[in-house]
Amino acid sequence: MIYAAVLAGGSGLRMGGDLPKQFLNICGRPVIIRSIDAFIKSGKTDMIYVAVSASYTEYMRELINKYIQFKNIKVICGGGNRNETLYNVLESIKKEREVSDEDIILTHDAVRPFIDDRIINENIEAVKKYGAGNTVIPAVDTILQSSDGKFIDSIPLRSTMFHGQTPQSFSVKKITELYENMTPEEFEQYTDACSVFVAKGEKVCLVQGSRDNIKLTYPEDIEKAESIIKSKEQD
């Protein structure tokens, strides 16, 4: 089984406005629906989990009924942070069927609607080969490290620095085992599942993302998103 988990736990506060940014309508279709669309269109995912905060589960179900034909899709409650949300997805998977060695999960930001088939396929291949993959793009600007936010500690070699995108993809068995052996402190400490893999000494393979695979974070990103949608429609 190949699962996709579209994660929308966040409140989207940086975007301003009342409606979390994953629900904003861009060119006539909500962002989160566009993210789900990409997985359905790829034809690779057997089952899609959509995790949203408790107060939006009903709204999310209505959106799916309105926009999506695909039936293997399930809305669940997100947790207090990304790891908890993903843990909830894994629990839900475990309840429904036995986990096999071949099961793969692609976890994806609900607010990154522009993943494409290539990225999805390469994530699946990365997990088949190495057990875990993280979509990235190389850093264009210099990256600086500062532990106090006042002075530069170091300027790592730019060619070794990458921006994390999603999907982050995993062997369902491997990530479930790692999560089940984590302490509550570790759940706080690691901001995402790839950090957990790296901390536990597990390999995480880089998958080439794309500049279009933006995360809608700030109001000006909406304009960029509209422009990407329009350019794709012209293709």
Q: Can you tell me which residue has the tokens 């329009």?
A: 230
Pick from 17, 46, 181, 218 the residue near its own copies by CB under 8 A.
Answer: 218
Instruction: State in angstroms the smallest separation of the CB of 79 from its own copies.
Output: 18
Residues 98-137 that bind its own copies (CB under 8 A): 130, 134, 136
Strands 73-77 vs 104-109: parallel, antiparallel or unpaired = unpaired
Question: How far is it, in rounded angstroms, from Cα 82 to Cα 128?
Answer: 23
Using CB atoms within 10 Å of the CB of residue 44, give its burial: 0 to 12 exposed, 13 to 18 middle, 19+ buried.
Answer: middle
Instruction: Choose one: 67-75, 92-100, 169-177, 192-200; the region binding its own copies (CB under 8 A).
Output: 192-200
- 123 vs 134, which CB is nearer to its own copies? 134
- Residue that the structure tokens 């000494």 belong to: 201
60 near 50, Cβ under 8 Å? yes
Q: Is 154 in the site for its own copies (CB under 8 A)?
A: yes
Q: Does 68 bind its own copies (CB under 8 A)?
A: no
Closer by beta carbon to its own copies, 72 or else 142: 142
Among residues 11, 72, 100, 191, the one that binds its own copies under rule CB under 8 A: 191
Tokens of 58: 């009903």
CA–chain centroid gap for 43, Å, is: 18
H/E stretch holding 25 reads strand 25-26
Residue 142 lies near its own copies (rule: CB under 8 A): yes
Interaction site with its own copies (CB under 8 A) = 130, 134, 136, 139-147, 149-156, 158-165, 191-192, 194-195, 197-198, 203-206, 211, 215, 217-218, 220, 223-224, 227
